[in-house]
Amino acid sequence: MKKDVSYSARFGKFSENALYQSIDPQLQVSIRDTGFRHGLSYQELRQITEIAIDLDMWGEPSLIEQVRQLERELSSNGSYDHKKTIIDILRDHWISLKQQETRYGTPNKRLNNRPESRKVIASDGDQNVFGM
């Protein structure tokens, strides 16, 4: 019980972090749950927050999905040191994605189309035009 209280206090300090506050609430809950489950340090929480933001920006599977998958794989292998292994695998995957060449989606064909040109029509009338 004492350990939970001290970790809650530590996580409370981390939750004030601007980077953590800027992410989706569902992702915040996932990071918090992962932090409590594995006893992540402030630096580890900050790092997985950065990783989560980048994964989302790059269109990769979310941090939530990747952590769940890793936990399933590790529990089936009988591994006990989940924290270090999960952080290492996430970090390695993140670094490999950062080193890859940037991929852009196919361009939208509508952007290449020009609008139809409009003809200027002169009309003689009694309407006043400002500036003349």
DSSP per-residue letters across 2-62: HHHHHHHHHHHHHTT-HHHHTS-HHHHHHHHHHHHHHT--HHHHHHHHHHHHHHHHTTPPP
- The reported pLDDT for the residue numbered 87 is 92
> According to the model, what pLDDT value does residue 111 have?
58
User: What would the two tokens of residue 67 be?
Assistant: 């952590």
> pLDDT digit of tens for each residue in the chain (132 aa)?
455 568 888 888 888 889 999 998 999 998 999 888 888 888 999 999 999 999 988 889 999 899 989 888 888 876 666 788 899 999 999 999 999 887 766 665 555 666 778 887 777 777 776 665
Q: Domain ranges for the chain, please list them.
A: 2-99
The structure's pTM equals 0.69
Q: Which of 79, 67, 75, 69 is nearest to 35 (CA)?
A: 67
How far apart are alpha carbons 89 and 105 in whole angstroms?
A: 27
Q: What secondary structure letter does DSSP report for 131?
A: T
